[in-house]
Structure 1
């Protein structure tokens, strides 16, 4: 079993939008999938990433994960028709199989390697997620800035989560522009002239 987590924003986001996003990310169409992380620091980063005056949250649980995504039918959260023909299909590879499965997809991008992505796929995406052991941690909005700074010290920052030029630009924005907008840092502009003729 492996511990992993997802942010509240991801958990309560639009499932239809998630379907499009996941299909772009992993090159497959998973209906009702949620993107989790096996790294709790990454989940914490997503919970405190936005400075929006709202509390953040992330969910966590300990659950088995399979790398054998080719055996799973995303519509049923169970074995595919071909996989059911094998004798080993008498045994479920996960305890809640048939209702929800957790799959580690084949990573095609450094971003998803850094995020330690895991997908959960549910049989019915319109039924609230009910997984034994699912717990929620709420992060007060007043702690978000401090937690982001501590995560940055640990190497979990925007440029790590989103490697590449866009991640670097977002990192610079979070260091310079965001603190000024939020009022944590004041910007003062002075004009000075020196007259050397006197």
Structure 2
């Protein structure tokens, strides 16, 4: 993993938007996804892993499906189930990302209790992540003409089959992989956050552990110095990137006002 640190807002902006025309549809569009955290010491462990219970996943999903049945459009689509479960806080093997670097910057600077600690943003290259996919998943992306999967494009693949896809390819035997999954637009929160999930074929493996098994360039960790957090935070607020946009509704407005009027 490559690690970078920037001491000014300008340097950070130049890096985050340093992509040239041509890689995606001959436009100035990036193949990167971003994840921001308020403490650079945090790792890329999923909420499921934090339970410290390696057999919990199937029980969590079974019971969530039973009690949330009316919220799920396709009861037989485990990918829709996973996306909805993650969105509502159930521990899953999914990690939250965003296609927006500003949304990631928001999450790196929104926790006022950690303004005295360096934050971080991970920048992941989806094109390079996709190079590690098994043939069957590559074919799905090719047919879709997309960089990322949707819950519909994966609906015919069970979670058990997904976990064992590479076992059928001798050269990739026992190698884990990760997919990028765009969730259904359940509500405005997902839309406004420009959300995306990563899903690893091994629910007990951290994303950074998997990526570090492969050559550099798949992802970069940017350290946000604590001395720069206040400037970033105020400029994001001025650009209307705040809780009232990230979490539409009264909850977001309350969170924004609480942070905005906190004294440091």
**Alignment TM-score, normalising by the size of structure 2:** 0.53
Provide the secondary structure at the position in 1 that maps to 2:198.
strand
Please give the per-residue CA displacement for 1:128-157, whole angstroms capped at 9, x wherever unaligned: 323351110010112112101111121211
> Is 1:110–1:163's contact at 8 Å kept on the other side of the alignment?
yes
Provide the secondary structure at the position in 2 that maps to 1:57.
strand
> Is 2:189–2:248's contact at 8 Å kept on the other side of the alignment?
yes
**Structure 1 gaps, min length 5:** 81-96, 183-198
User: 1:163 and 1:115, CA in 2 relative to 1: closer, same or farther beyond 3 A?
Assistant: same
1:43-82 matched pairs, under 5 angstroms: 43-51=104-112, 52=114, 53-63=116-126, 64-67=147-150, 68-75=153-160, 77=162
Please give the per-residue CA displacement for 1:71-130, whole angstroms capped at 9, x wherever unaligned: 5544554699xxxxxxxxxxxxxxxx9611111011101011100111110011332323
User: 1:33 and 1:74, CA in 2 relative to 1: closer, same or farther beyond 3 A?
Assistant: farther
What corresponds to 1:187 in structure 2? none
> Structure 1 or 2: larger helix share?
2
> Is 1:49–1:144's contact at 8 Å kept on the other side of the alignment?
no
Provide the secondary structure at the position in 2 that maps to 1:36.
strand
Bigger relative CO (Cα 8 Å, ≥ 6 apart): 2
**Structure 2 gaps, min length 5:** 1-23, 25-30, 52-56, 61-81, 127-146, 166-174, 212-216
Q: Which has the larger radius of gyration?
A: 1
What corresponds to 1:171 in structure 2? 256
RMSD of aligned residue pairs (Cα, Å): 3.2
Query: For residues 78 and 126 of structure 1, what CA distance do their matches in structure 2 show?
Result: 11
> Is 1:41–1:156's contact at 8 Å kept on the other side of the alignment?
yes
How many residues are aligned here?
163
User: 1:174 and 1:78, CA in 2 relative to 1: closer, same or farther beyond 3 A?
Assistant: same
